[in-house]
Chain A
């Protein structure tokens, strides 16, 4: 037998659909672009600076932590970049640089790396980061105060803050259309409702997020807010107001469907999404915080492992599966 080539020997399947973690993350970033670009137009170069700093510092934190913990450095999969980007999107444009860096440190390291890195985080890392920041340095998250130096040609009030302080009369200052078009004060990536919806639809159509979660989340928001409004229209704002203000749309399309902290089976996805919507409105209407989205997400992340045990019987397991 003459000398022959060596061949690649591996296990089936020999084809792949071409998807990868890097590809998924790139698409998530593309989907977030409309909202970010609008935020930069709205809030100026400061917003761009916050987003860029958030992305780059998140990547640096990840690389540093992976180096220290002697893991392989996975900076090329854009995982940290997405976490940083989402963290940045939830910040106001005027936030000091060190808040951004501390935020991404918490997001990437405490939110994900300490649990074992990608895929092992029980909570959405970006939400952890922002939750810690908003508890520790709450003043920076008072969007009205933070954006005081700006002059807008629309009602320069954070809608949820206004609702909290002035009661339901404040909602009349904001029309649904202007909220959708981004005429509101808020975080860089959360004000442009239409952009977030376009990005979210893109992710859903490309299959990068699970549409059931987003749809259920929206349903949870609308149903709960409508019930509150019906019970007392004097005290509670309507569903559309809640849907297009605060972090709601960001949560619906980017935060709640984060893969490792959300369920994968149908019924759990629906419960998870609806719970998210319900909790958001409950915290906003009854709780102490103006925007309950962050805590709503942390709560549904918490119940994810339990509800995801509700799953269909496997093939041939109909009879005696305990």
Chain B
């Protein structure tokens, strides 16, 4: 475990309010740290130590978060009531303690009083290319998986639990008796919306998420972490990560949540140069980190290093209507027309006439674009702007 951990809190730092945690506070292992009194989101301290810094963190689209730096004191002192959750295995207790387990179990979603979830898909296959984290876990620890699935069924009362695994997996027989969904190795087939459409007979509706349709996707690592947490009666913090170097060499490491990624890279002897790219998540759907101090997150399955010379450029060419995006789009979006509207900031038209809301975020349109337009970026921006617009209209309607 590194001497210094960085914990990300998904809440913006507000200078007008007094924070709960302050610089110099002592945190104990397993202690939940809230930013403000009324906060609902928390991080769990993986070890005991002192908070040495609280600072704002900016993500994609100016999304604000806060990071805490935890200086380890080496005592690993457990917090009071760290194992309370294990006494009564119910959803609320689990949500109260285990939300930040490796694999990021969607406990908040399941525990929500108005939850419409009636099916759970446990995904034993990585959704993006290159990553092997989930496939690796699916092939190990079979008993723990079964145990975890039983526990989830008991906790949630949902009996429709599916297990999505690669169809070519060697230990396929071990999953006998479970509801399995066998996936081919192609990228599109592993996307949640496509699993729903192809294997569960649920037609995704444009503008609604899988959760709205009652399907909750959960990574296999989340299941395993839950099992381990209940066995050990304490939260666990070891995350399995696939690290892919510039040469394409794949390594799998286990790291404590909060570890700055430069520690992992140094350990593996991977070096970075100026202007390289650090990709977190997969090559098609991930994001790029701007610092090597980016911490390991509960849902971070992959780190990819891309050499600065291997980075494909984007251009400011207009769409030349070659039609490759339309051919490849799994959602049937008229990308060639959509991108013209997005470039002109006409987001409402993009939703109304050109199916922006049907996009399932696979990123393939940008991957094949002959004109090298950053289409996926336009699409994400368009969706983001559209959400903001809708939220604005709602507040206006409320105020009126």
Contact = CB atoms under 8 A, between A and B. Distances in A.
A315 B358 contact: yes
- The dominant DSSP class at the B interface is loop
B206 A12 contact: no
Given A1-B293, A210-B323, A11 B330 contact: no
A10 interface: yes
Interface of A: 1, 4-21, 23-24, 74, 77, 116-120, 207, 210, 259-262, 264-265, 311-319
Nearest to A305: B337
Contact of A9 (B272, B288, B367): B288
Chain B contact-residue range equals 35 or more
B277 interface: yes
Interface string B296-335: 0000000010101001101101111111101100111110
B270 interface: no
Interface stretch (B95-103, B139-147, B221-229, B373-381): B373-381
A312 B332 contact: yes
Contact of A13 (B208, B275, B363): B363
A10 B277 contact: yes
Contact of A10 (B288, B315, B323): B288
Given A10-B288, A264-B336, 6 more contacts: A11-B60, A13-B364, A210-B323, A264-B322, A312-B332, A315-B206
Interface in B169-221: 193, 197, 203-208
Contacts of A74: 317
Given A5-B276, A21-B370, A11 B320 contact: no
29 contacts: A5-B276, A7-B291, A8-B308, A11-B380, A12-B282, A12-B287, A12-B288, A13-B283, A13-B364, A14-B283, A14-B311, A15-B312, A17-B367, A21-B317, A23-B370, A24-B370, A74-B317, A118-B318, A119-B318, A119-B321, A119-B371, A260-B320, A260-B321, A261-B321, A262-B321, A264-B327, A315-B331, A316-B205, A317-B358
A259 B321 contact: yes
Nearest to A311: B334
A7 B278 contact: yes
Contacts, number: 170
Q: Which of A7, A8, A264 has the most CB of B within 10 A?
A: A7
Nearest to B286: A12
B128 to A, nearest CB: 9
Contacts of B17: none
Interface in B329-369: 330-334, 336, 355, 358, 360, 363-364, 366-369
A8 B372 contact: no
A265 B355 CA distance: 15
A243 to B, nearest CB: 25
A315 B332 contact: yes
A300 to B, nearest CB: 14
B288 A8 contact: yes
A319 B287 CA distance: 34
Contact of A316 (B282, B320, B358): B358
Contacts of B262: 4
B3 to A, nearest CB: 13
Contact of A19 (B306, B370, B374, B377): B370
Given A24-B322, A315-B331, A11 B377 contact: yes
Contacts of A1: 293
Contacts of B207: 316
Contacts of B204: 315-316
Given A4-B292, A314-B355, A319-B205, A14 B319 contact: no
Contacts of B308: 8
B290 A10 contact: no
Contacts of B368: 17, 19
A319 B206 CA distance: 10
Given A14-B306, A311-B334, A315-B193, A7 B275 contact: yes
